[in-house]
Chains A and B, each alone.
Chain A
């Protein structure tokens, strides 16, 4: 593998390039989710029927999934702390735990929650609420899975004390995914 260019190592903007880039990724993702959720809120506030449909989401599963993501965020930031201390194996362990949280989240959603709702007849085309529900939660879940995949690439190298700075970067992305869910949860599960 060739060395990265000198360009990557310069920090005229006061932050390492990787961290700067992840913040830009987060900024562009804010407007993606913002457009989607803004549209949802517009429909939600103007359709009485939404509330009736929304009553069928399972608040308990949503709450459990929120707890799962919050906890995985804890593991991610503890991993960052370990990486800063130069403890690669510990950082890797914590990254694996974070990834595990993400997989648990996805499993609860795809293997239990959604099959249950589809079985009850609530599919993506059942109504506008459900269209938004599956689309928003689905795009979010895709981001969860992408994060897990990246973690599984970073963790083995971190274990050998290689590229430890990346532990913080994927953690930053992961916290953003967590924050999106922090807003999705009340929008889809509580506001009924």
Chain B
């Protein structure tokens, strides 16, 4: 017994998505996971970056394409998702020039400067760290 108790409307979309080999995709995802965990052990920052974030992008793409079937859905879905991601890049681009600095026009962040000094000098320059231009 369905909730829709009137004559069925002809669907204007693909009713059944083509179901691929989901276990195979899952296996690839697991292998990628292992690689991303192993990445830092190579000790090279660039390797870590590529394995951690590059792989994250690949995994997200695999899930979106194979599990969420975004490539079967009408094009505007992919555009919608892409646009929202672009907006996040835009937000980052607009805010980062302020948030990532420790000083600017008529302001500074004393705690940031102090923390930086402490990190650089390993805590030895504690007294000087309180002063700033």
Interface residues of A (CB under 8 A from B): 1, 3-4, 6, 8-16, 19, 23-24, 26-28, 30-31, 34-35, 38-39, 41-43, 45-49, 52, 59, 63, 66-67, 70-71, 73-74, 76-78, 80-81, 84, 162-163, 171-172, 175-176, 178-179, 182-183, 185-186, 190-192
Q: Which residues of B contact A74 (CB under 8 A)?
A: 22-23, 25-26, 67
A11 and B12 CA atoms in complex are apart in Å by: 6
B contact residues, total (Cβ < 8 Å): 60
State A176–B63 Cα separation when bound (angstroms): 9
Residues of B contacting A175 in the complex (Cβ-Cβ under 8 angstroms): 63-64, 67-68
B100 partner residues in chain A, CB cutoff 8 A: 42, 45-46
A81: shortest Cβ distance to chain B, in Å? Answer: 4
Say whether B56 faces chain A, with CB atoms less than 8 Å apart: yes
Task: Let me know if B4 and A179 touch, CB within 8 A.
Answer: no
Q: Is the CB of A11 within 8 A of B13?
A: yes
Taking CB as reference atom, which chain B residue is nearest A179?
B60
> B84 touches which one: A3, A34, A45, A192 (CB < 8 A)?
A34
Q: Contacts A38-B88, A70-B30 given: A23-B73 contact, CB under 8 Å?
A: yes
Partner of A34, one of B37, B39, B76, B88: B88
Find out whether the CB atom of B64 lies under 8 angstroms from the CB atom of A179.
Answer: yes
Query: Are A16 and B52 touching (Cβ within 8 A)?
Result: no
B119 and A48: CB pair below 8 A?
yes
| Complex Cα spacing A89 to B131, Å | 69
- Whether B63 contacts A178 by the Cβ 8 Å rule is yes
Q: How far is the CA of A113 from the CA of B128 in the complex (A)?
A: 38
CB contacts (< 8 Å) of A76 on chain B: these are: 67
B29→A70 contact, CB < 8 A: yes
Q: Is the CB of B60 within 8 A of A183?
A: yes
Contact yes or no, A6 B56, CB < 8 A: no
Are A11 and B88 within 8 A (Cβ)?
no
Given contacts A46-B101, A172-B68, contact A34 B87 (CB under 8 A): yes
Residues of B within 8 A of A30 (CB): 81, 84-85, 88
Contact bitstring B70-86, A, C-beta under 8 A = 1, else 0: 00011011001100110
Nearest Cβ in chain A — how far from B22, in angstroms? 5
Complex Cα spacing A70 to B3, Å: 33
